[in-house]
Structure 1
Amino acid sequence: MSHTPFQALACPLDGDPLQRRDGAWRCPAGHSFDIARQGYVHLLPVQNKRSRDPGDSKEMVAARRRFLEAGHYQPIAEAVSRAVLAEAPAGDTLSCLDAGCGEGYYLRELARACEEAAGGDRSLALLGMDISKWAILAAAKQWKGAIWAVGTNAHLPVQANSLDRVLCLFGFPVYPEFARVLKPGGELLLVDAGPDHLRELREIIYPTLKPPRDGDAAVPEGFTRLGSETLRESIELSGPEPIADLLAMTPHLHRASAEGRARAASLTSLRLTVDVRLTRWKPEDVA
């Protein structure tokens, strides 16, 4: 397996194609976006920010990195990689965006799985994008096999009809943008939490649990469902550190009361249910 540099970036200001040269990405109109010394590019204009420092904090990113690198979500990464590579012909270059990539764990695992499955006969062109500069900084420091960009799903800095796969894993899907950037025959892969995901932790930190949402989500406009699968695993967290990391990397950290966080902090071990649904979608043909 080889890496092909991702080339289909678009200017976040005017939508024109970006070209990489002289340590920056530039569009024909002259807009220029410097490549940081760590290897990433910032493609989130200030007018598209909702806060001064949007997305996950530096502490949340560090917690997620420790938790994921310990292998707790390895079955999810393996399922995502299988779905991405399914029916992808050997010998072709597969262009893939992880929209909300965090610190890059799932793209790194995809590259590893591709190398093992294809025996070197397939090329990946990978783009990892997140609204958190801390996440992209961590991703760029760890691995140089992808283009890493700070950006937003609401206005993807990606050329139209340029991607074979878009991943949105525990993220915030913007379906019109995903449909715009996918090639005909491309696929969108979503991973969402199921009704029992981390139930044991939620029972500790909340006084009551909300009723589960309808498992059959509405079909997003512009897409057709290709299929879905449910992944259900039991994991054991030993010691207070991984429990604290799990809580810190999820929205539950801020939603729970002080009492709920204190109960979680007192734990020395915790057995948890991992319950997620992976759904594959294809964009409908546009006449």
Structure 2
Amino acid sequence: MSIIPFQALACPLDGEPLNQSGSAWSCPAGHSFDIAKHGYVNLLPVQQKRSSDPGDSNAMVAARRRFLNSGHYQPIAEALSSAVFDHTEREAPSDALLRCLDAGCGEGYYLRALAQAAPNGQSLSLMGLDISKWAVQAAAKQDDKQAPQSRWVVGSNANLPVQSATLDRVLCMFGFPMYHEFARVLKPGGVLIQVEAGPDHLRELRDIIYPSLKPERASAPESPAGFIPSGTENLRYALTLSDTETMTDLLAMTPHFYRATTEGREKAAELKTITLTVDVRVVRWARV
């Protein structure tokens, strides 16, 4: 098994291939992007930003790192890895290299778990992308500086700095799918894997922080343009948290932190212990 950083990057300004030379990536037109000291590259031009510091803050990234590294979502990581490697022995790519992008990688937890779960004989080419520079910086810091496993990139799912039809897998973890871009960068037969919250995900916490919960709409998702369904798996388990710091970290790493009322956040901060339902769906879409 070998794991190497993904190479087929594209210029975010003109879409042309990027090539690495020394400490920078550049395209034929001369656009150049320096590699940061921690090993990542920022491919998010100012004109593609909606704010001066988009994405998760440094504090949110730190909270997510502490929570995930405690193993609370390890079953999700295991289900994701199974979905990534399912049927790979039947695909038999010509170069036996599986190229995978985590679109919205956060601090890199799921991509690191994927690398550890790779079966014997399976070679990987990995890339993690996030719009938050703090998230990408945290991911790059945790990689092996002597032999990095992943290419870490600051960028946007809406304009992926990736050459077309170069990926076998795209992961979207609780994120914002941009199906047209995912379809563009996936090879025919490649697979988009989405992990999304089910109707009961963290319901016990939501019952506390919200005055009322909106009813869930029970409808089967329509196939995005360019994709056909390739299977859905449901994962459900109980998670007991018994310290205030972990519960605070969980709340801080979710959108609920900003959506909850002040009263709701105060109630959550007073909790000493809580048992939560983890309810997620792993949905696979095949690129046609």
TM-score range, shorter chain: over 0.9
SS in structure 1 at match of 2:82:
helix
Question: Residue 244 of structure 1: which of 243, 248, 252 is its match?
Answer: 248
Question: In 1, distance between residues paired with 2:213 and 2:199?
Answer: 10
- The answer as to 2:279 corresponding to 1:262 is no
Question: In 1, distance between residues paired with 2:224 and 2:169?
Answer: 17
Amino acid of the residue matched to residue 229 of structure 1?
E
* 1:79 shift after superposition: 0.5
* 1:21 shift after superposition: 1.1
**Partner residue in 2 for 1:71:** 71
Matches within 5 A, 1:100-179: 100-114=104-118, 117-118=119-120, 121-143=121-143, 144-179=148-183
Contact 1:222 1:283 in 2 (8 A): yes
- Where does structure 1 differ by over 4 angstroms across 4 or more consecutive aligned residues? none
TM-score (norm 1): 0.96
Name the Cα RMSD after superposition.
1.0
Amino acid of the residue matched to residue 75 of structure 1?
P
- In structure 1, runs of 5+ residues without a counterpart are none
- In structure 2, runs of 5+ residues without a counterpart are none
Amino acid of the residue matched to residue 19 of structure 2?
Q
Question: In 2, distance between residues paired with 1:5 and 1:283?
Answer: 23
* 1:5 shift after superposition: 2.9
CA deviation vs aligned residue, 1:173-218 (integer Å, no higher than 9, x gap): 0000000000111000001100000000000000111111334122
Contact 1:4 1:93 in 2 (8 A): no
* 1:256 shift after superposition: 0.5
SS in structure 1 at match of 2:216:
coil
Q: Aligned residues: percent identity?
A: 65
TM-score (norm 2): 0.95
Amino acid of the residue matched to residue 111 of structure 1?
A
SS in structure 1 at match of 2:106:
coil
* 1:26 shift after superposition: 0.9
SS in structure 2 at match of 1:4:
strand
SS in structure 1 at match of 2:175:
coil
Amino acid of the residue matched to residue 222 of structure 2?
A
SS in structure 1 at match of 2:55:
coil
SS in structure 1 at match of 2:88:
coil
Amino acid of the residue matched to residue 194 of structure 2?
L
**Partner residue in 2 for 1:213:** 217
